[in-house]
Structure 1
Amino acid sequence: MADVVLSAAVRQNLLSLQSTADLLATTQNRLASGKKVNTALDNPTNFFTAAGLDSRASDINNLLDGIGNGVQILQAANTGITSLNKLIDTAKSIANQALQSNVGYSTKSNVAATIAGATPNDLRGTQTFASAIATSNVIYDGTAGGTSGVSLTDTLGGGIGSLVGTAVTKNVPTDATSTGAVLYTGTATATATGTDLISSLTNGSTTTPTGPQAGDVLVVDGKTITFTATGTPTVDSNGNYTIGVNQPINALLATVDTINGNTSNPSVVNSSGHLELHTGTNRALSVSDTSGGTVLAKLGFSAPVSTSLGTGASAPITASTKLFNTVGGLGAAIADGTTLTVNGKTITFKASDPPSPAGLLVGSGVLGNIVADSQGNSTIYLGTSNTFTNATVGDVLTSIDLASGVKSATISGGIATFTANGTASSISGAGVVTLNSSTGADLHVTGPADFLKSLNLTTSTGSGPTTLDVPRITGANTIGTLIDDGSILTVNGKTITFKNAPVPLASATHTGVSGHVETDGLGNSTVYLQGGTVADVLKAIDLATGVQTATLSQTGATLTTQLGSANSSLSSGSLKISTGSASDLTISGTGNAMLALGLAGNTGTSTVFQASRASGAGGVSGKTMTFTSFKGGSPVSVTFGDGTGGTVKTLAQLNAALAPNNLTAQVDANGVLMISASNDYASSTLGSVADGGVLGGSITSTLTFTTPNPPVADLNSQAARAKLVEQYNNVIAQITTTSQDASFNGVNLLNGDTLKLVFNETGKSTLTIVGTALTPAALGLPTLVAGTDFIDNAATNKTLAALNTASTTLRSQASSYGSNLSIVQIRQNFAKSLINVLQTGSANLTLADTNEEAANSQALSTRQSIAVSALSLANQSQQSVLQLLR
C-alpha cells in the first residue's frame, strides 16, 4: 500500500476512523461480556484483586455445608431432649398415681393408749374436780358503826324511807245560785212549777206559750241542749243533749245539772215560779244560747248565766281532792303533757277523759283515771270540765307507788288491778302528804317544782324540774350497802338479776319460785329485793354454778344439792361461795351488787371475783409425751393442757405438733389415742433402729402405750403399686432408645458424641460442642424394684424427686444446646453475608457499567458516521480530477 498516495486530509480522516473503530470494538466487547476487566491486560490490579476475593468467597461457601449439618445435629438433639422430657412427665404421672392410690398398708406402724373420756376436742380425758370455797370480803349490816357482819336473814333491800311534807289545805266550795224571772203557765196568774211542761211556759202577759220552741239551743259549760218537738233527754257521744218541749221543766233542769256535774244541790223551779240554777260544789256554771239571748229570755234570764262556786272555809286536802278544779281542788290545773319521772319510770298527765279498755294497747290496763302497764309506767287522765270523774291527788300517789314498786299492776283484758307490796304513800287527816320508798329501791321523783310544791313536798317554785330523793333505811336486819334495782351478777355465764318487786306467788306462769328467788331451771335467776335476803343470794349463786339444781313446778321450785358439793354459806360476815365441781368460779356484775356483797376488788382492783376448783384424779392434763426423731423428723415434746401457753388440748393441736416428726394421731370413741407413722412413711416401723421414733416422757406414768406395732401390708394395694413400678420401668427404658435415635449424619450429641464446626477458611474460628449421654443412669433414674419402690409415699416421693432432678438436667442440657444452636445459626448467617460482601467487592472491581458502555457505543457509532462523511469530503477533489479525465 506504500505505493498508494493519499492526501493529508484523507489520511487524517482515515486515522480518525480507525481509532473510532477500535474504541467501538472495545465498548461492544464490554457490553457482550458484562465486565470491564476480562484479562490481566485490561487492569492487572483489579483483575488479581477480584480473583482473590472470589477465591475467599468460594472457600467460605464450601464451609456452609458443614455449618448447616451442625444446625441439624443440634436440632436433632433438641428434638430428642423434648421427647425425653415427655417421657419424664409420663413417669411423674405414674409416680403421682402411686401417691393417689391406697397407701399400701392396712395398718401403719403405731403405738396406742387409752385415755378415758378423751375426745377430738379434748384429749385430756375425764378429770375429776372437787368443790372449793371462795371467800368474799366481810359484809357489814346497817348497825351504827359498821362493824357488825351480816346474817343470812338480813334483807337486801333495807327498810322503807319516807318523805313527809307539810299540811296542804284547799278551799271548800259552796253552792251558788242564779235566779231568773217569774215564769207562768196556762194563764197570766198561774206561776210555773217543776212538773209543768216546757211547752206550757208563758211570760204572764198572755196565755199563748212563750217558752222554748223546737230548734232553740242552750249552751251549758260548752255543751249544747237542743229543743225538739218531742222526746226525753238524749245525749250523744260528744256530751251534747236533745230534749223535747213536751218534757217537764224538771227534766231540763236535771240535764243542766248533769252537764255541770252538780249533785249536791239540784236546780229547781222555786215556789215563786223562778228558775234557780245551782252550781253545786264541783264547778262554776255557764249558760248561754246561740240566738243572742232570746232562748235565755224565754226561760226568764235577761243575760247569759255565769256563776262561780261559792268560797267556803279552808280544809285539809284528802286523797279524793281533785287535780282539775281551781276552786276546791289542789291548785292551778296541771298542763296537758306534764310528766313526773320516778325511779326511771314515767308518769304522764293528759287533759282528757280516760279511754275505754278496748282502746288500750296490749299490756296496758285502766283503773279509774289511771292507765298503767306492768313495768311501772302510767298515765293520769285529768278528766274534762264537763266530766265529774276528775283525777285526784290519790291517783298521783298511786302512780308514784306503781313506779317505785310499792304497788304493782296486773293487767287483764285492758283492766288494771293494783296490789300493795308495802307501805303505800298517803295523806294524813291533817292534809300532810307522805311519799314512801319501797324496800327494794330508793325513791327519786322528778317533776315541775310548782306541782311538787302544791303538795308541800318542796319549797322550790317554777316550771323547771325538781328532784325529791327518799333513800331507803338500813339497820341491824339489812346489809349495810343496799343492792340497787336492776343490778346484775354474772356467775359462770349465768345471770342473777336483782329486781325491786315482791316475789311472785308460785303458779303456772311462775314455776321456779323458791323463797325470794325465781329461777328458769337453766341456772339464771331473779332475786326479788322486797323481802330478799343474803341467803337468797347464796341460793341464786349455787343455782348458777350448778351446786344446786332446780325442778320447776306450779307449787314452786324444788332444789337439789349436787352430789359431793356443799352449799354456799356465810361465816363471820363473809360469803363462803362453793365453786362446785362443774367449772371454775367467775363472778362479774353491773350495778352495785358486787360491792354490796363484798365481791368487788377481791384481788387488787379487779372487778371480777374468781376461784378455781380443787383438782382431782384422772385425765392426762399436765402430762408430757415425747418422741425421738422418726425418719429424720424433728423430735416431739408435748404437754397436755388447756391449749394455751404451748400446751396441747385438741387432736388438731396434737397433729400439728407431731407433723414435723412424720407422725399423725387419731382418737376413737373409746378414748384410744393412736400415734402412727404418716402416710409418707407407711412402710417404716416406730422405734426401729433404722427409723427411730421411740416414745418417752412422764406420760408413761399415767398411760400404758403398746409396744410399737409394725406396719401391715395391704396385698391388693401393694399389687397395684407393683404394677405401677412395671409401667414406670417401661417408660424409663424408652429413655435409652430415644437418646440413641437422636442422631444426624452419624453424630448424636445425646449419646456423648462431639460436634466440631469450622467457621472460616483458615480453620482458626471453630466451635466444639461436647455431647452428654442422656441415659437413665446418667439422669439418676434407676430401674425400680417392686416391693421396695413405690411401697409408700416416702419411697414414691423419692422417685418423684429424682424425676424432678432429671427434668432439671434435661432443661439445663436443652438450654445449653439451644445456646450453641443460636451461635451456629448466627455464624451461618454471618458466613452467608460475608460471601455476599466478597462477591460484591469482586464485581465492583471487574464489572462494566452497562449504562455507561451503552452511551459510549452510541457516541462512537455517531462519531464513526461523521468520520465516514469527513473522509468522503476529503476525497471530493480527487473525484473532480477524475471527472476532468473523463
Structure 2
Amino acid sequence: MSGIVLSAAVRQNLLSLQSTAALLATTQNDLATGNKVNTALDNPTEFFTAAGLNNRAGDISNLLDSIGNGVQVLQAANTGITSLQSLIANAKSIANQVLQSPVGYSTKSNVTSAAITGATANNLLGPPVNNTVTGTVVNNNLTTPVAITAATKLVSATNSDTLAATPANGSSFIVDGKSITFSTGQTSVTTDASGNVTIGVGAGSTASVGTVLSAIDGITGATTASVVTAGALVISTGTTQPLVIAAGGTSALGSFGLTAATTPLTPPTLQGETLTIGATGGGTATNITFGTGSGQVSTLNQLNTALAANNLQATLSTTGLLSIVTSNDAAASTIGAIGGSAAALGAPFHGLAAAAPVQDPDSQATRANLVAQYNNVLQQINTTSQDSSFNGINLLNGDTLNLTFDETGASKLAITGVTFNDAGLGLSTLTSGVDFLDSNSANAVLTQLTAADTTLRGEASALGSNLSIVEIRQDFNKNLINVLQTGASNLTLADANQEAANSQALSTRQSIAVSALALANQSQQSVLQLLR
C-alpha cells in the first residue's frame, strides 16, 4: 500500500471523510446513550462530578427502603394504640355497669344510737333539760312547814294565817328578772306593762298556791308545769335560760321556803360531746364535736356533711334514734371503731360496734360476672399490644426504632418504644369476691382506666409527631434524590435536538465528502486516460 500515491485532493477528501465519520459516530453514540459525557475521556470534570452526584443519590435511595419500613412500624403502633383505646373504653363501660348495679349487700354495716330525747333533724342536740327548785311553804307566824296543795289559798276568808303561808303585804320575789308582788285587797292575778305579776292576798282573796306557780311558769317559759309535791313547791325552769330567783322582799322567799339562787339548765344530750369513727372504706376518719359553735355539728345535714368523707351517712327516726350506715360507695366495708365522749357510759353511742355487711348472693353473682368480663378485656389488651409489630419491630412492646436519613449516618432518629400491656398501663387483673364489691372499688378501677387512657393519648401524640418527622424526611430524601440526579443529568445528558441536528449536518457533510472524493478520483482517472 505504501506504493500507492494519492493526489492531494483525494487525500484531503479522505481526511475530511474520516473526520466526519468520527464525528458522526460520536453524535450517533450520544443519541443512542442519551449522554454527551459517557466516559472520563469525554469530560473528566463533568464525568466524575456527575458520578459523585449519582452515587449519593443511590446511597440515599437505599435508605428510603429503611425509612419506608419505619413509617410502617409507626403506623402499626398507631393502629395498636387506637385498638387499645377502644378496649379501655370497653373496660370503662364494664366498671360503670358496677356503679349501676344493685348494691351487693342485703344489709350494710350500721350502728344506731340510743334515743336522743327531743332530737330533730334541725336540732340533733335535743332540748335543754328542765331543772327544778324546791321549797317548803311555812306559816308566817310559825317556824314549822305547813302541808299545802296547789289549791290551798294563800289566805283564808277570815284572814287567818293557819291554812297557808301568807307573804306579807308588799313583799315580793323576782323570777328571771320579773317580780311577783303580793298585795292585800285583791282577788285576782294581774300583770303590768313591765311584766310584774301582782297576786291579791287580802281578805276574800281567791288566789291559790297554784296561781302563784302558774304565774312563775309564765315568766320562766317552763314546758313542765311547776307543782306541789308532798307539801313542797317544785318550780320548773324554762327551756332557754336558767332559773334565777332573787329577793325583792325577804318575807316572800322565806314564806315559800326559797333562798336567792341561780339554777342553770342541764345542757342538751349531745351538747359538747365528741364522736370519733375510724376510717371506713378508705375514707377519712371522722372527728365530730356536737354543738352550735363554729365547726361544730348540731343538725342532720351538718352531720352528713361531716360523715361524707368517711363514706358514711346518717338518718334520724321520729323517736330520736340516730342511725349511721355506710354509703353505697363503701358498701363492702365495716364502719370503723366508734369512740369519743358520745360513746362513754350513759351516752347515746355507748357500747356500739358495727357488724360486717351481709352479702346479697344474686348481686354478688352479677358483679363476679363483670369481673370476668373485665379480665377478658385485659387479656385482649395484652395480645393487641404484642401484635402491633411490623417487620419484627413493635413499639408497643418495648422495641426501639432506629432510622438513618443521610448517607453519612449523621442524621438519625431513635424512637423508643413503650410497654403497653396491662401492667404497663397501670392495670391489673381483678379477683371475684374481692373487687367490684361496691362503688368505691369500681371508682378505683375507673381511675386506673382514665389514667391508662391519658397515657395512650400521650403516646399517640408522640407517635404522630414522630411519624410526621419520618414522612417529612422521606419526602425530603425523595426530592433530594431528584435534585442530585437532575444535577448529574445536566452535566452528562446530551441535548437530543442538538445532537439530531449535528447528525443531520454530519450526514450531509459526509455525503458531500464522498461526492468530492469521487470527483477527485475521477479527475485522477482522466489524467491516466491521457497517458494511454
Q: How many residues align?
A: 434
Given that 1:30 and 1:853 are in contact with CA atoms closer than 8 Å, whether structure 2 keeps it comes out as yes
Separation (CA, whole Å) in 1 of partners of 2:263 and 2:338: 36
1:708 to 324, 348, 354: 354
Q: Deviations over 1:663-715 (max 9, x none)?
A: 3222122221112233332222223xxxxx43222463431443222222222
Does 1:675 find its partner at 2:324? yes
**Structure 1 position 759, deviation (Å):** 3.7
User: Which 10-residue stretch deviates more, 54-63 or 838-847?
Assistant: 54-63
Does 1:808 find its partner at 2:461? no
The code of the aligned residue for 2:216 comes to A
Separation (CA, whole Å) in 1 of partners of 2:220 and 2:379: 79
User: Which 10-residue stretch deviates more, 874-883 or 754-763?
Assistant: 874-883
Given that 1:664 and 1:677 are in contact with CA atoms closer than 8 Å, whether structure 2 keeps it comes out as yes
Given that 1:78 and 1:814 are in contact with CA atoms closer than 8 Å, whether structure 2 keeps it comes out as yes
SS at match of 1:46: helix
Instruction: Report the equivalent of 2:229.
Output: none
SS at match of 1:844: helix
Q: Deviations over 1:215-257 (max 9, x none)?
A: xxxxxxxxxxxxxxxxxxxxxxxxxxxxxxxxxxxxxxxxxxx
Instruction: Report the equivalent of 1:97.
Output: 97
**Structure 1 position 25, deviation (Å):** 4.6
Given that 1:639 and 1:647 are in contact with CA atoms closer than 8 Å, whether structure 2 keeps it comes out as yes
Instruction: Report the equivalent of 2:41.
Output: 41
Separation (CA, whole Å) in 2 of partners of 1:631 and 1:742: 40
Instruction: Report the equivalent of 2:118.
Output: 117
Separation (CA, whole Å) in 2 of partners of 1:106 and 1:31: 97
**Structure 1 position 846, deviation (Å):** 0.8
Q: 1:562 to 1:60 in 2, by over 3 A?
A: farther
Separation (CA, whole Å) in 2 of partners of 1:826 and 1:35: 33
**Structure 1 position 16, deviation (Å):** 5.7
Q: 1:657 to 1:567 in 2, by over 3 A?
A: closer
Instruction: Report the equivalent of 1:372.
Output: none
Separation (CA, whole Å) in 2 of partners of 1:878 and 1:98: 119
The code of the aligned residue for 1:124 comes to L
Listed as ranges, the gaps of 5+ residues in structure 2 are: 133-173, 198-209, 224-237, 242-261
Q: 1:565 to 1:37 in 2, by over 3 A?
A: farther
The code of the aligned residue for 2:333 comes to S
Instruction: Report the equivalent of 1:624.
Output: 274
Q: Deviations over 1:99-141 (max 9, x none)?
A: 222232233222221223323222223444579945489xxxx
Instruction: Report the equivalent of 1:638.
Output: 288
Separation (CA, whole Å) in 2 of partners of 1:843 and 1:678: 82
Separation (CA, whole Å) in 2 of partners of 1:4 and 1:630: 127
**Structure 1 position 728, deviation (Å):** 1.0
Given that 1:57 and 1:839 are in contact with CA atoms closer than 8 Å, whether structure 2 keeps it comes out as yes
SS at match of 1:115: coil
SS at match of 2:51: helix
**Structure 1 position 40, deviation (Å):** 2.9
SS at match of 2:315: strand
Separation (CA, whole Å) in 1 of partners of 2:118 and 2:99: 35
SS at match of 2:309: helix
The code of the aligned residue for 1:649 comes to S
Separation (CA, whole Å) in 2 of partners of 1:77 and 1:97: 30
Q: 1:677 to 1:851 in 2, by over 3 A?
A: same
Relative to its length, the structure with more strand (as a share) is 1
Given that 1:133 and 1:579 are in contact with CA atoms closer than 8 Å, whether structure 2 keeps it comes out as no
Given that 2:73 and 2:391 are in contact with CA atoms closer than 8 Å, whether structure 1 keeps it comes out as yes
The code of the aligned residue for 1:64 comes to L
Separation (CA, whole Å) in 1 of partners of 2:69 and 2:368: 45
Q: 1:796 to 1:135 in 2, by over 3 A?
A: same
Q: Deviations over 1:359-403 (max 9, x none)?
A: xxxxxxxxxxxxxxxxxxxxxxxxxxxxxxxxxxxxxxxxxxxxx
Given that 1:756 and 1:766 are in contact with CA atoms closer than 8 Å, whether structure 2 keeps it comes out as yes
Separation (CA, whole Å) in 2 of partners of 1:725 and 1:843: 69
Q: 1:561 to 1:783 in 2, by over 3 A?
A: farther
Q: 1:561 to 1:735 in 2, by over 3 A?
A: farther
Instruction: Report the equivalent of 1:649.
Output: 298
Q: Deviations over 1:335-378 (max 9, x none)?
A: xxxxxxxxxxxxxxxxxxxxxxxxxxxxxxxxxxxxxxxxxxxx
Normalised to the residue count of structure 1, the TM-score between the two structures is 0.42
Given that 1:740 and 1:748 are in contact with CA atoms closer than 8 Å, whether structure 2 keeps it comes out as yes
Given that 2:68 and 2:474 are in contact with CA atoms closer than 8 Å, whether structure 1 keeps it comes out as yes
1:787 to 427, 430, 433: 433
Separation (CA, whole Å) in 2 of partners of 1:79 and 1:698: 61
User: Over alpha carbons, which structure has the higher Rg?
Assistant: 1
Given that 1:620 and 1:699 are in contact with CA atoms closer than 8 Å, whether structure 2 keeps it comes out as no
**Structure 1 position 789, deviation (Å):** 0.5
Given that 1:565 and 1:580 are in contact with CA atoms closer than 8 Å, whether structure 2 keeps it comes out as no
- What is the percentage of aligned positions where both structures have the same residue? 59
Given that 1:88 and 1:803 are in contact with CA atoms closer than 8 Å, whether structure 2 keeps it comes out as yes
Q: CA RMSD in A?
A: 4.5
Instruction: Report the equivalent of 1:492.
Output: none
Instruction: Report the equivalent of 1:61.
Output: 61
Q: Deviations over 1:134-155 (max 9, x none)?
A: 5489xxxxxxxxxxx9x9xxxx
**Structure 1 position 51, deviation (Å):** 2.9
Relative to its length, the structure with more helix (as a share) is 2
**Structure 1 position 63, deviation (Å):** 2.8
The code of the aligned residue for 2:275 comes to M
Separation (CA, whole Å) in 2 of partners of 1:770 and 1:618: 69
Q: Deviations over 1:640-683 (max 9, x none)?
A: 334x5223222111111222333322212222111223333222
Q: 1:731 to 1:875 in 2, by over 3 A?
A: closer
SS at match of 1:615: coil
Given that 1:109 and 1:711 are in contact with CA atoms closer than 8 Å, whether structure 2 keeps it comes out as yes
Q: 1:106 to 1:133 in 2, by over 3 A?
A: farther
Given that 1:579 and 1:613 are in contact with CA atoms closer than 8 Å, whether structure 2 keeps it comes out as no
Q: 1:759 to 1:49 in 2, by over 3 A?
A: same
Separation (CA, whole Å) in 1 of partners of 2:423 and 2:400: 20
Q: 1:5 to 1:676 in 2, by over 3 A?
A: same
Separation (CA, whole Å) in 2 of partners of 1:3 and 1:755: 80
Q: 1:58 to 1:561 in 2, by over 3 A?
A: farther
The code of the aligned residue for 2:43 comes to N
Instruction: Report the equivalent of 2:141.
Output: none
Q: Deviations over 1:151-202 (max 9, x none)?
A: 9xxxxxxxxxxxxxxxxxxxxxxxxxxxxxxxxxxxxxxxxxxxxxxxxxxx
**Structure 1 position 801, deviation (Å):** 2.7
Q: 1:89 to 1:702 in 2, by over 3 A?
A: same
Given that 2:125 and 2:298 are in contact with CA atoms closer than 8 Å, whether structure 1 keeps it comes out as yes
- Greater relative contact order (Cα 8 A, min sep 6): structure 1 or 2? 2
1:744 to 342, 365, 390: 390
The code of the aligned residue for 2:49 comes to T
Separation (CA, whole Å) in 2 of partners of 1:46 and 1:823: 35
Instruction: Report the equivalent of 1:664.
Output: 313
1:3 to 2, 5, 28: 5
Listed as ranges, the gaps of 5+ residues in structure 1 are: 138-148, 152-514, 516-533, 543-559, 569-576, 586-611, 688-692
Instruction: Report the equivalent of 1:824.
Output: 470
Normalised to the residue count of structure 2, the TM-score between the two structures is 0.67
SS at match of 1:111: strand
Q: 1:713 to 1:133 in 2, by over 3 A?
A: farther
**Structure 1 position 867, deviation (Å):** 7.7
**Structure 1 position 784, deviation (Å):** 1.3
Given that 2:278 and 2:335 are in contact with CA atoms closer than 8 Å, whether structure 1 keeps it comes out as no
Q: 1:119 to 1:802 in 2, by over 3 A?
A: same
**Structure 1 position 787, deviation (Å):** 0.8
Does 1:566 find its partner at 2:212? no
SS at match of 1:106: strand
Q: 1:81 to 1:58 in 2, by over 3 A?
A: same
Q: 1:669 to 1:561 in 2, by over 3 A?
A: farther
Given that 2:276 and 2:285 are in contact with CA atoms closer than 8 Å, whether structure 1 keeps it comes out as yes
Q: Deviations over 1:518-572 (max 9, x none)?
A: xxxxxxxxxxxxxxxx946467x99xxxxxxxxxxxxxxxxx999966277xxxx
SS at match of 1:665: strand
Does 1:697 find its partner at 2:341? yes
Q: Deviations over 1:833-869 (max 9, x none)?
A: 3322322222122101234434545666777788899
Does 1:719 find its partner at 2:365? yes
**Structure 1 position 754, deviation (Å):** 4.4
The code of the aligned residue for 2:439 comes to N
SS at match of 1:674: strand
Separation (CA, whole Å) in 2 of partners of 1:625 and 1:38: 102
2:493 to 847, 852, 866: 847
**Structure 1 position 798, deviation (Å):** 2.5
